[in-house]
């Protein structure tokens, strides 16, 4: 069935982030949609952010475009340029290679949800704006190239 | 700004479909999001379907994955396998090469809206389930290969 049965897709809050960068995303509960939907040219996740939850560490992709569609609730988008409150129906686009990192934080007292889509190099590279971390297909490293022990979550 | 200002993006109901196949999509008002958002690895459209409007002729893509996120209102998804009513928050995935064609029809008496995303070969090929038409990067042809005069809409 092309209509995805969200309730039947396992939800997880797993992350490959090394401590202590993993703690802020503990309230991010996501479902990977592309494998279930048979899609190979894009990645897509349905994400529920619990109150206080972060969508990710603030990051950018070198070689993958991102699109986000807000479904329910409210989240604050944070970037170099400041804060923007996102509401249902709002859409964000982040072109690959733009190093103005972004993430969403649920500062409200109820869940919010969104769909995040990525296309390009799904094993690509990128970085994090606020912490000493970069990512690549293998996992995470510091800016000086030394590796973190954790593996990148898939 | 990564948050797209939908109101500032021109909305059009243009189609490259040759007559009489263009008439059912006259109530499809869309905004192309990828050019405004600077995205090159995916196509994305915000679509408003007026009552009676079709999202497209019932079609499939040979080499492009599609994802759809319902935002507001209600539409009926039609495929070989039957009819499914879609509501806000519903998500559909259509993998490239699956010839079970799909489209949405707004059978309600109010507007509905959704976001449609495509990734893969954006100049690719595909076909239509219910009419004698195929598409490619140049436009439209019959199954016997003879061309229709209209150009494919971009």
Are the CB atoms for B110 and B51 separated by under 8 Å? yes
- Mean pLDDT in residue range B123-140: 96
Tell me: cis bond preceding B101? Omega within 30 of 0 counts. no
Residues of A contacting chain B (CB within 8 angstroms): 1-4, 6, 33-34, 36-42, 44, 46, 64-65, 67, 69, 71-72, 77, 79, 81, 84, 86, 88-96, 98, 100, 102, 113, 115, 117, 119-120
Residues 6+ apart with CB under 8 A from B47: B28, B29, B30, B31, B55, B113, B114, B115, B116
Residues from chain B that touch A69, judged by Cβ atoms under 8 A, are 69, 71, 115
Q: A135 to chain B, minimum CA–CA distance in Å?
A: 20
pLDDT at B154: 55
pLDDT tens-place string over residues B22-62: 999 999 999 999 999 999 999 999 999 999 999 999 999 99
C-alpha neighbours within 13 Å on the C-beta side of residue B108? 17
Q: Between B3 and B90, where is the model more confident?
A: B90
For the entire predicted model, the pTM comes to: 0.96
Report whether pLDDT(A154) > 60: no
Task: Give the integer Cα–Cα distance in Å for B97 and B86.
Answer: 23
pLDDT tens-place string over residues A21-63: 999 999 999 999 999 999 999 999 999 999 999 999 999 999 9
pLDDT at B3: 87
> Lowest-confidence range among A1-10, A88-97, A134-143, B28-37?
A1-10
At B43, list the tokens. 């196509």
Report whether pLDDT(A151) > 90: no
Residues 6+ apart with CB under 8 A from B147: B138, B139, B140, B141
Backbone angles phi, psi at B77, to 5 degrees: -85, 130
Contacts of A10-13 spanning 24+ positions with Cβ under 8 A: A11/A48
């Amino acid at each position: 069935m092309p209509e995805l049965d969200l309730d039947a897709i396992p939800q997880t809050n797993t992350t490959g982030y090394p401590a202590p960068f993993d703690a802020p995303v503990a309230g991010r509960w996501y479902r990977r949609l592309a494998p279930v939907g048979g899609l190979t040219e894009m990645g897509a996740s349905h994400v529920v952010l619990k109150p206080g939850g972060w969508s990710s560490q603030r990051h950018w992709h070198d070689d993958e475009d991102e699109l986000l569609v807000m479904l329910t609730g409210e989240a604050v988008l944070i970037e170099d340029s400041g804060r923007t409150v996102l509401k249902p129906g709002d859409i964000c686009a982040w072109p690959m290679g733009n190093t103005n990192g972004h993430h969403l934080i649920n500062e409200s007292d109820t869940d919010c949800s969104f769909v995040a889509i990525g296309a390009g190099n799904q094993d690509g590279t990128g970085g994090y704006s606020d912490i000493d971390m970069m990512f690549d297909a293998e996992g995470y490293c510091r800016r000086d190239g030394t590796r973190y022990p954790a593996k990148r979550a898939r």
